[in-house]
Structure 1
Amino acid sequence: MHVEIPFAPAAVVAAHDETAALRAVSLQLPPALARSHERPGQVVKLRAPSGESYFALASAPRADGRVDLLVKRGGRVADAVVAAAAPGALLDVSPPIGKGFPVEEARGRDVLLFAAGSGIAPIRAVVQHLVSRRAEVRRVTLFYGQRHGSEFAYVREHLDWERAGVRVVLCPSGEDDAWPGLRGRVQEVARTLAFGGSAPGESVAFVSGMTSMVDDVRATLAEAGVPPGRVHLNF
């Protein structure tokens, strides 16, 4: 049965380029929508004249109802959102929907985070959640992949994440730019670094990215001893 998703106007609070391809947009959700934001990894649907599309929330639930998006240029709806998202403008947005990540399962465990491309958006929401509850979890390691070193989002936040106890491992897979660190796909780098010192059999993993990357990460984690039931997607 088709369920109609309601939309309501949300004010654009701020917008800036994280990279050449990724635009960060902050919205103030009205209270009727904000109360549906219950856990990291949920998504919203945006409506533009060119159509409608889903976008993962790049922030953990907040009491003030503000949410962040990371919009990848190149799609009809995404480009329309980028063009319209000036501070003070209104965007038609749905309530946050989806099951999100079961972050409660991280309590007392090592946590492995895997993100590729714009998949960093919902993983950033998990990072914010874990930082706010840092004493409840053990080691936290983020393996974040892009093709090139210039394409990583939230670079200005990485040091703060490190200071809060989240190890950030950046993994460019391309070979045509200068990069002083490790290269390779996130699952390859994770294996090389022995999963950041985490004990795979006692870890929980949260993964976001393109389907092929997710499948490869799942296979790598299974080989390392992470039970499939402790590898989570946000959909």
Structure 2
Amino acid sequence: MACTAAFTVRMPAASRAVAAPAAARAAAAALRPAAPRLTAPARSSSRPQSARGLRLVPRASWGAPVEFAAGKVLENEREAEQLQRLRVQIGGAASAYTKAGQFIQAKFGEDGKAGFFAIASSPGADKENGVVELLVKSQGGTAEQLCTAAAGAEVLVSAPMGKGFHVDTIPPADVHTVLIFATGSGISPIRALIESGVLQAGERKDVRLYYGVRSPAHQAFADAIPAWQAAGVKVVPVFSGQGQGYVQDAFAKETGVSDWGGVAAVLCGQKGMAEAVTELLTSNGVPPERILTNF
């Protein structure tokens, strides 16, 4: 099924009122009560329509309208414990996927609640067919619906969105060490980053991936790890269920870094992990702008 690309549409601003004479304005101001101060623009009860008549659905995350188009689940396979690997057709919207770390919104039915899902395939990997891969954790809501969707199931999808990982800001000439931290399904955009080649791991002194999950059974993309290591990414698995703690614990025990001046990091996963790793890095002098996230 061909899918229509999704775009954000901005509604035109209201036209400005013609200024009244000074005396009239003063009189009107004296009669009307002071307007309350608003911290956010009020939302209209009616749903906005695009110029083409397609319904737009506002999302609370950024407040901008998001247009959904028809998509289709092509494949749905178990990747690891509680994780499903899906190939989803999003049509021409796939051309908007240009940076590893971007995501799509997806939902079932016009009134369904949209979920956010990072793209696991590399940018351009199957752009000709308009297909992207997702790694989805079975945890209720839209994620649960995706995990149980059969091949051929219809789903509404947005175009790829988000800033992605700006690895162009950490070129090998300035950054000799890149430390990557991922937990659970957070490995999804990290896979896209590594396999896209934009990390230029072979041109750096040290590129490490600390990959934390509960057990080997929970480790997604395990069969791809040998290829990642061959490409110059050393993978350090951390299994919390086997008493190894979390990725921040494994890194803190032995950083293996002698020159912090050329270090950058990429983070994707649990908030607590990201905060702990960021504190470890900044306390050793790594600038915040060299700690990359995709949100």
TM-score, structure 1 length as denominator? Answer: 0.87
Query: Distance between the aligned counterparts of 2:124 and 2:150, measured in 1?
Result: 21
- What residue is the counterpart of 2:25 in the other structure? none
Mapping 1:4-15, distance limit 5 Å: 4-15=65-76
1:153 aligned residue (220, 229, 252): 220
Q: Structure 1 3/232 Cα, relative in aligned 2: closer, same or farther at 3 Å? A: same
Among 42, 54, 75, which residue is 2:140 paired with?
75
Corresponding residue SS for 1:5? strand
Q: Which residue of 2 aligns with 1:179?
A: none
What displacement does 1:58 show?
Answer: 1.4
- Mind listing any 5+ residue stretches in structure 1 that lack a counterpart? 177-182
Q: What is the match of residue 115 of structure 2? A: 53
Paired residue secondary structure (2:67): coil
Does the CA contact (< 8 Å) of 2:84 and 2:137 recur in 1?
yes
Does residue 62 of the first structure (1) align with residue 127 of the second (2)? no
- Give the 4+ runs in structure 1 shifted more than 6 A: none
Residues 132 and 225 of structure 1: CA distance in aligned 2, closer, same or farther (over 3 Å): closer
SS at match of 2:162: coil
CA RMSD for the aligned pairs?
Answer: 2.1
Aligned residues: 226
- Give the letter for the 1:81 counterpart: L
For 1:198 and 1:36, the matched residues in 2 are separated by 40
Provide the rounded CA distance (Å) in 1 between the counterparts of 2:84 and 2:268: 18
Residues 182 and 210 in structure 2, CA contact (< 8 A), matched pair in contact too:
yes
Higher relative contact order (CA 8 A, sep 6+): 1
Tell me if structure 2 keeps the 8 A contact 1:201–1:224: no
Structure 2 residue aligned with 1:16, among 49, 71, 77? Answer: 77
The structure with more radius of gyration:
2
1:98 aligns with one of 154, 158, 162? 162
Give me the whole-angstrom Cα distance separating, in 1, the residues matched to 2:259 and 2:108. Answer: 45
Secondary structure in structure 2 of the residue aligned to 1:51: coil
> In 1, Cα distance between the equivalents of 2:116 and 2:212?
22
Q: Please state how far the C-alpha of 1:135 moved relative to its aligned partner.
A: 4.3
Distance 2:284 2:133 in 1: 34
Residues 1:126 and 2:193 aligned together: yes
Q: Percent identity?
A: 36
Task: Quote the Cα distance in structure 2 between the aligned partners of 1:43 and 1:163.
Answer: 27
The CA deviation at 1:136 is 4.6
- CA offsets 1:174-220 (integer angstroms, 9 cap, x no match): 237xxxxxx2211121233324x574321111101111111001011
Aligned residue for 1:55, secondary structure, equals strand
**Shift of residue 63 of structure 1?**
5.4
1:1-235 matched pairs, under 5 angstroms: 2-31=63-92, 33-49=93-109, 50-62=112-124, 64-65=126-127, 66-86=131-151, 88-108=152-172, 109=175, 110-130=177-197, 133-175=200-242, 183-195=244-256, 199-235=259-295
Helix, strand or coil: the match of 2:97? coil
Cα distance in 2 between the residues matched to 1:134 and 1:208: 18
Q: Is the 8 A contact 2:85 2:135 kept in 1?
A: yes
Q: Does the 8 Å CA contact 2:212/2:237 hold for their aligned counterparts?
A: yes
Q: Which amino acid is 2:116 matched to?
A: Y
Shift of 1:94: 0.4
Q: 1:46 to 1:63 in 2, by over 3 A?
A: same
1:82 partner amino acid: C
TM-score of the superposed pair, with normalisation by structure 2: 0.71
SS of residue matched to 2:242: coil
CA distance in 2, matches of 1:73, 1:5: 24
Work out the CA distance in 1 between the residues paired with 2:137 and 2:220: 11
> Unaligned 5+ residue runs, structure 2?
1-40, 42-62
CA gap of 1:74–1:63, structure 2 versus 1, over 3 A, is closer
